[in-house]
């Protein structure tokens, strides 16, 4: 059916007049096309590329019983720091990391990611900068940026503001799924260092560091104890992506039967910090004892603590220097540590998995408390 005719005496009205610039959206797609190509995986060969209605990817070969794993996440109020500094080329790494790190703990190999950018007005250069960060993250993770959406939503966002979300998919053999069903008492807890706050706790961090009633620091001020970096630099430090470490452990475990694998479970230290995340990889009958004295506290956490944030609140909100905790079979301790070191990690032995004292006892205990 044809649209109704335009009355001769009515003023002309376009989609652009309503706040949506289709040409700007097309320019954004043109700018990111070559960036996205850097993330292509072999499983995409011969299938439709960027610009179609949906992304296509075949499953990798070599899986006896492939299980798909999916997750979604965003960056949170860390975006407000990027917006304030007008630096947008790293928050895309955070976006990938928050999704991919959740996939990795299941034993999955990341396959692809879909991103969603929502803003009040599409600025092609901003979209290009954001996607550049997403591409950097996907390259680190070995995942394809298979598709995405840029939504122009006038009236929904303040001028210059935007939000990011992503959806990631990976694959793992059913026999090699890691998690609470595989972790046992006696397993060793090994920590992998974080790069900073990652992407959690920014509402508290900004309150403690930036508000006049607390530290009152500006984003371009030197971070106390931060070896010359600014507060803004520390807050925008990208989230670490642990794909190389997990790839090294998958290669180690590929040589043995599933029941003998080194990595039995893992916890991504994200929202909920060190109080709530380690137990997500444990059965109800187990607990873990952690010695946090072995983990140097990042300067930004020290600065936040100095503003009156109690230790328990720090542990529940932030990663406190640990981005990932691995539960490793004790007989595989030495090869696992070697594999992690070869992958560029400096693993820290934190403690052990132990039987839980009672159904009401905490599942995360800290040495010396």
pLDDT at 51: 64
In this structure, the answer to whether residues 327 and 229 fall within a common structural domain is yes
Strand partners, 193: 322
Spatial separation of the C-alpha atoms in residues 295 and 320, rounded to whole Å:
8
In this structure, the answer to whether residues 233 and 325 fall within a common structural domain is yes
In this structure, the answer to whether residues 108 and 228 fall within a common structural domain is no
In this structure, the answer to whether residues 358 and 298 fall within a common structural domain is yes
Whether residue 14 lies inside any domain: the answer is no
Determine the longest span between alpha carbons in the chain, in angstroms.
83
CATH of the domain at 225: 3.90.650.10
pLDDT at 367: 84
pLDDT at 178: 93
Tens digit of each residue's pLDDT (9 = 90 or more) over 247-279:
999 999 999 998 899 999 999 999 999 999 999
Tens digit of each residue's pLDDT (9 = 90 or more) over 45-61:
877 666 677 888 999 99
Domain that holds residue 149: 22-44+60-176
Q: How many domains does the chain have?
A: 2
Query: Is the pLDDT at 314 greater than 80, yes or no?
Result: yes
Whether residue 139 lies inside any domain: the answer is yes
Question: Nearest CA to 351 among 213, 361, 152, 333?
Answer: 333
Tens digit of each residue's pLDDT (9 = 90 or more) over 169-191:
999 999 999 989 999 999 999 99
Strand partners, 292: none
**Lowest-confidence region among 5-14, 141-150, 181-190, 192-201:** 5-14
Tens digit of each residue's pLDDT (9 = 90 or more) over 57-74:
999 999 999 999 999 999
């Amino acid at each position: 059916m044809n649209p109704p005719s335009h009355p001769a005496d009515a003023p002309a009205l376009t989609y652009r007049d309503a706040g949506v610039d289709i040409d700007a959206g097309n320019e954004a797609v043109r700018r990111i096309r070559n960036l996205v190509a850097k993330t292509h995986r072999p499983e995409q060969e011969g299938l439709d590329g960027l610009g179609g209605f949906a992304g296509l990817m075949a499953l990798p070969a070599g899986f006896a019983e492939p299980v798909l794993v999916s997750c979604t996440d965003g960056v949170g109020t860390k975006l407000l720091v990027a917006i304030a500094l007008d630096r947008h080329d790293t928050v895309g790494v955070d976006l990938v990391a928050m999704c991919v790190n959740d996939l990795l703990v299941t034993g999955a190999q990341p396959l692809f990611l879909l991103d969603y950018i929502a803003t009040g007005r599409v600025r092609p250069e901003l979209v290009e900068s954001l996607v550049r960060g997403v591409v950097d993250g996907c390259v680190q993770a070995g995942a394809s940026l298979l598709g995405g959406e840029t939504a122009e939503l006038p009236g929904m966002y303040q001028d210059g503001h935007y939000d990011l979300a992503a959806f990631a998919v990976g694959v793992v053999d059913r026999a090699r799924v890691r998690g609470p069903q595989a972790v046992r008492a006696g397993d060793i807890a090994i920590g992998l260092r974080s790069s900073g706050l990652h992407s959690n706790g920014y509402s508290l961090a900004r309150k403690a560091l930036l508000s006049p009633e607390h530290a009152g620091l500006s984003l371009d001020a030197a971070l106390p104890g931060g070896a010359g970096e600014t507060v803004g630099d520390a807050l925008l430090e990208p989230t670490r992506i642990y794909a190389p470490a997990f790839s090294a452990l998958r290669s180690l475990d590929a040589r043995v039967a599933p029941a003998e694998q080194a990595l039995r479970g893992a916890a991504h230290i994200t929202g909920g910090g060190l109080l709530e995340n380690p137990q997500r990889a444990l059965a109800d009958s187990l607990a873990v004892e952690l010695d946090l004295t072995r983990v140097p506290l990042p300067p930004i956490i020290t600065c936040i603590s100095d503003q009156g944030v109690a230790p328990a609140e720090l542990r529940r909100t932030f990663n406190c220097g640990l981005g990932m905790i691995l539960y490793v079979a004790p007989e595989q301790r030495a090869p696992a540590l070697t594999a992690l070191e070869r992958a560029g990690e400096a693993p820290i032995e934190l403690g052990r998995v132990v039987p839980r004292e009672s159904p009401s006892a905490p599942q995360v205990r800290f040495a010396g408390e």
